[in-house]
């Protein structure tokens, strides 16, 4: 039956009333005024126009999205100086490091603009946010929903792109009940200005990750460049000059105290606060334990080789950090969800929803009566088959040569099509595509092998193939994979050895030899290419279709369930899930109690750094000049008289991945810190926010300035900031 989505359109007005005060919330900047009164009560002194305006310069113009949203940064000088986390700049710093100029290990500080190094990523400034709900959902029906939304999205992107000068992201909120267009201007020339040594920027390592008390100097500095007319450029150019921003954040030397207002802006990546009880059970019982097991195995292999060789350690430092971060995250989230009985709480909410539906009229029952059944049907499929997807993503995609091989898989398909094509015109077109694919792959090869160590990848491959073969039923694996494994008598190690013996995917010289004389025959014989092709085609052809019906049912159930919540609780404030779009959160600097008879202060000091110091320990060692300067108590203007230097502090702001590097801003619009982590006791926060437990961990801006000035001797960088005393 054709059904126009007037029901959902009708919720647009209702939903807007829910953008108001709540204990949690990553809020949409364009709707700032809905939260303004509560923000004022907590200590905000700025006007809404000073914070977010599309017509005048405002605080939003100082916030930058790194890449497509992997982290956040902020502009802190009128010369385009960017501050972000050390772990956000980690990959760029690692790529710029060598064993003789190891910026990751030793730190780096440019003495002039000429010494700044091209970072290899872009940054984007938010231009404006537009509520496009009515335009997106115009004429949408059950049958044409995906097609119409795609059509309308394309038109809106074209309308607001300013002839290609802007990037336009269409963001779905509340599972399709509301839509916004985020318009960004992207600058492609970003350069490394400075970074502390890893011993400071990653102090505490994996042991302290997600933990409080914390003493990590998690910061790095970059600069955005523009052309001589201050316009964005797509890439590095010697002719570019430091960008003059519309706004930069003043940097506060006043410090923070318990109860102070704290606001955070950034690009939070993903939350799932409305996840059903069925989804929570699937995550804690099936999906997340598998991710933890697989990642721990990879980390063990990385560390085995990293501990033997400094060059290998440098090559795999960023890869290790990426795997380790979410290895610990998934452990903590599973623990938190079970400890707080989030599945039970979600079930209680769903039972209340069912009662509400059953008490309603025929229209309510018709609209919402099937929601729980849709969840049950969807999660029956997920529970039975989700590990096929999880192991593909974590194990198969976790093998380095496999990712490189996906491009060769596409090339192999083009060769096959070219060989069988009879039409000369089509054959010529395929030849053009083959040549273009070869050019792209050859161009990527240097970067692929820069930080590649064959023994690690070979051992990882054997371990990952073994996991996949042992834990995933044969009927949920590619038939061709099963055949390859059978030829090796079921031995994952033998399969890996056979691939690594001759494949062009694991040897740079062999890859370059192939590009010198490319042929379809070589690709067909290559076991690495064959393996990559099998796995990629299975994902695109089988795994995606395996969950298509379940995904559709869950999406519909999510959309209807959220729409119902707004009717059930008209006075309750709801924030949309994070989805890599610009958001803000607000709260206060606060301490917390992690457990019975325990109380954590809201800040840490240099005393704690020195208490954790362990000479020779890779997580808790410190440079000699750091130890001397700290022991001398030379804190200058960065500590109040009679006080120890403060390192990190806590606030009850709502953040998640992507917020790393976000500015923590006081009521006057001044920078007081840099968000970089959450606390272990509230690792369930992406699914269930716990206001009494959830805290954001930030590095105090005064510690950042002390590191730059007193340790690095780079006071010229501090001098270009606007300091608020």
pLDDT of residue 620: 98
Higher pLDDT, residue 612 or 33: 612
- The residue among 59, 80, 86, 54 whose CA lies nearest residue 263 is 59
In our burial notation (b when 16+ CB lie closer than 10 A, e otherwise), range 107-137 reads bbbbeeeeebbebbbbbbbbbbbbbbbeebb
**Is the pLDDT score of 35 beyond 50?**
yes
Cα first-last separation, the chain? 66
**Is the pLDDT score of 719 beyond 70?**
yes
**Around Cβ 519, how many Cβ atoms within 10 Å?**
10
When pLDDT is cut at 50, 70 and 90, the band that residue 19 belongs to is very low
Place of tokens 């002839």: 163
- The residue among 453, 458, 464 whose CA lies nearest residue 502 is 458
Domains of the chain: 6-39+51-249 (no CATH), 275-396 (no CATH), 400-549 (no CATH), 583-724 (2.40.10)
Give the percent of the chain with pLDDT over 90.
95
**Around Cβ 464, how many Cβ atoms within 10 Å?**
25
Strands 123-131 and 117-118: unpaired
pLDDT of residue 8: 43
Place of tokens 């029956």: 380
CA-angle at 585, arms to 253 and 9, nearest 5°: 155
- Cite the beta strand spans of 596-645 per DSSP E: 603-605
Q: Which residues are known catalytic residues?
A: 87, 218, 660
Place of tokens 């490394």: 192
Q: Please provide the average confidence, as pLDDT, over all residues in the chain.
A: 94
**Is the pLDDT score of 3 beyond 80?**
no
pLDDT of residue 79: 98
* pLDDT tens string 52-108: 999 999 999 999 999 999 999 999 999 999 999 999 999 999 999 999 999 999 999
Higher pLDDT, residue 133 or 18: 133
What value does the mean pLDDT take over residues 517-538? 95
**Is the pLDDT score of 371 beyond 90?**
yes
Identify the H or E element spanning 458.
helix 454-471
pLDDT of residue 22: 40
When pLDDT is cut at 50, 70 and 90, the band that residue 142 belongs to is confident
Contact yes or no for 565/371 (Cβ under 8 A)? no
Contact yes or no for 426/552 (Cβ under 8 A)? no
pLDDT of residue 571: 86
Looking at the chain, the number of H-run helices and the number of E-run strands are 29, 20
Contact yes or no for 502/454 (Cβ under 8 A)? no
When pLDDT is cut at 50, 70 and 90, the band that residue 536 belongs to is very high
pLDDT of residue 14: 44
* pLDDT tens string 204-259: 999 999 999 999 999 999 999 999 999 999 999 999 999 999 999 999 999 999 99
3-class state of residue 153 by DSSP: helix
Separation CA 24–CA 686 (nearest Å) = 11
pLDDT of residue 23: 52
The first and second tokens of residue 605, run together, are: 């000091």
**Is the pLDDT score of 18 beyond 50?**
no
Separation CA 148–CA 671 (nearest Å) = 43
* pLDDT tens string 378-389: 999 999 999 999
Distances (CA, A) of 448 to 508, 520, 551, 693: 9, 22, 34, 42
When pLDDT is cut at 50, 70 and 90, the band that residue 573 belongs to is confident
* pLDDT tens string 379-426: 999 999 999 999 999 999 999 999 999 999 999 999 999 999 999 999
Separation CA 265–CA 60 (nearest Å) = 8
What value does the mean pLDDT take over residues 563-579? 92
* pLDDT tens string 490-503: 999 999 999 999 99
pLDDT of residue 572: 85
Distances (CA, A) of 432 to 404, 418, 440, 514, 657: 21, 10, 12, 18, 41
pLDDT of residue 10: 44
- The residue among 128, 232, 85 whose CA lies nearest residue 697 is 85
* pLDDT tens string 635-682: 999 999 999 999 999 999 999 999 999 999 999 999 999 999 999 999
């Amino acid at each position: 039956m054709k059904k126009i989505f007037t029901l959902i359109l009708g919720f647009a007005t209702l939903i807007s009333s829910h953008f108001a005060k709540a204990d949690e919330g990553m809020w949409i900047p364009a709707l700032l005024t809905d939260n303004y009164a509560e923000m004022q009560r907590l200590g905000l002194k700025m006007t809404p126009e000073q914070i977010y305006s599309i017509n005048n310069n405002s605080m939003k113009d100082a916030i930058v999205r790194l890449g497509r949203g992997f982290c956040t940064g902020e502009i802190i000088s009128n010369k385009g100086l960017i501050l972000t986390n050390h772990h956000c700049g980690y990959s760029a710093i690692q790529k710029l490091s060598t064993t003789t100029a190891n910026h990751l290990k030793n730190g780096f500080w440019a003495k002039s603009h000429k010494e700044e190094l091209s970072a290899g990523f872009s940054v984007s400034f938010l231009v404006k946010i537009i509520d496009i709900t009515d335009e997106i959902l115009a004429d949408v029906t059950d049958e044409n929903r995906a097609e119409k939304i795609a059509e309308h999205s394309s038109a809106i992107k074209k309308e607001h792109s300013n002839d290609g000068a802007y990037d336009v992201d269409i963001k779905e909120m509340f599972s399709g009940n509301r839509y916004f267009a985020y318009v960004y201007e992207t600058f492609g020339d970003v350069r490394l200005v400075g970074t502390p040594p890893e011993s400071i920027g990653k102090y505490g390592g994996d042991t302290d990750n997600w933990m409080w008390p914390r003493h990590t100097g998690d910061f790095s500095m970059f600069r955005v460049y523009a052309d001589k007319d201050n316009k964005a450029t797509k890439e590095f150019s010697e002719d570019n000059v430091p960008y003059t921003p519309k706004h930069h954040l003043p940097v506060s030397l006043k410090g923070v105290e318990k109860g102070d207002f704290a606001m955070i802006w950034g690009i939070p990546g993903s939350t799932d606060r409305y996840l059903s009880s069925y989804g929570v059970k699937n995550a804690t019982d099936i999906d997340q334990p598998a991710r933890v097991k697989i990642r721990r195995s990879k980390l063990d292999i990385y560390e085995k080789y990293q501990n033997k060789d400094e060059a290998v350690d440098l090559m795999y430092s960023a890869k290790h950090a990426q795997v380790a971060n979410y290895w610990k995250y998934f452990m903590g989230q599973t623990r938190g969800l079970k400890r707080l009985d989030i599945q039970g709480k979600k079930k209680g909410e769903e039972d209340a929803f069912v009662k509400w539906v059953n008490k309603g009229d025929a229209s309510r029952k018709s609209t919402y009566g099937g929601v729980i059944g849709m969840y049950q049907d969807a999660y029956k499929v997920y529970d039975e088959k989700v590990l096929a997807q999880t192991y593909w993503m974590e194990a198969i995609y976790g093998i380095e040569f496999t990712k490189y091989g996906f491009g060769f898989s596409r090339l192999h398909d083009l060769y096959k099509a070219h060989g069988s094509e009879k039409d000369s015109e089509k054959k010529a077109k395929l030849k053009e595509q083959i040549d273009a694919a070869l050019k792209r792959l050859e161009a990527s090869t240097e970067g692929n092998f820069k930080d590649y160590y064959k023994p690690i990848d070979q051992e990882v491959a054997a371990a990952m193939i073994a996991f996949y073969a042992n834990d995933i039923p044969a009927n949920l694996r590619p038939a061709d994979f099963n055949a390859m494994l059978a030829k090796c008598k079921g031995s994952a190690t033998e399969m890996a050895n056979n691939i690594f013996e001759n494949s062009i995917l694991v040897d740079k010289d062999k890859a370059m030899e192939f590009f010198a004389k490319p042929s379809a025959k070589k690709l067909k014989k290559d076991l690495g290419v064959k393996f990559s092709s099998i796995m990629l085609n299975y994902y695109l052809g089988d795994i995606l279709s395996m969950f298509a019906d379940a995904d559709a049912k869950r999406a519909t159930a999510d959309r209807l369930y959220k729409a119902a919540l707004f009717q059930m609780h008209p006075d309750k404030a709801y924030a949309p899930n994070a989805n890599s779009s610009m958001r803000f959160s607000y709260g206060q600097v606060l301490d917390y109690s992690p457990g019975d008879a325990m109380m954590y202060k809201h800040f840490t000091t240099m005393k704690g750094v020195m208490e954790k110091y362990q000479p020779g320990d890779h997580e808790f060692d410190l440079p000699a000049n750091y130890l001397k300067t700290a022991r001398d108590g030379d804190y200058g203007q960065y500590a109040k008289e009679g006080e120890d230097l403060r390192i990190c502090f806590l606030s009850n702001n709502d953040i998640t991945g992507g917020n790393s590097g976000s500015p923590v801003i006081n009521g006057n619009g001044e920078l007081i810190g840099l968000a970089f982590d959450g606390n272990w006791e509230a690792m369930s926060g992406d699914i269930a926010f716990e206001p009494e437990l959830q805290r954001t961990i930030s590095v105090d801006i005064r510690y950042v300035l002390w590191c730059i000035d007193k340790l690095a001797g780079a006071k010229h960088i501090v001098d270009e900031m606007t300091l608020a005393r």
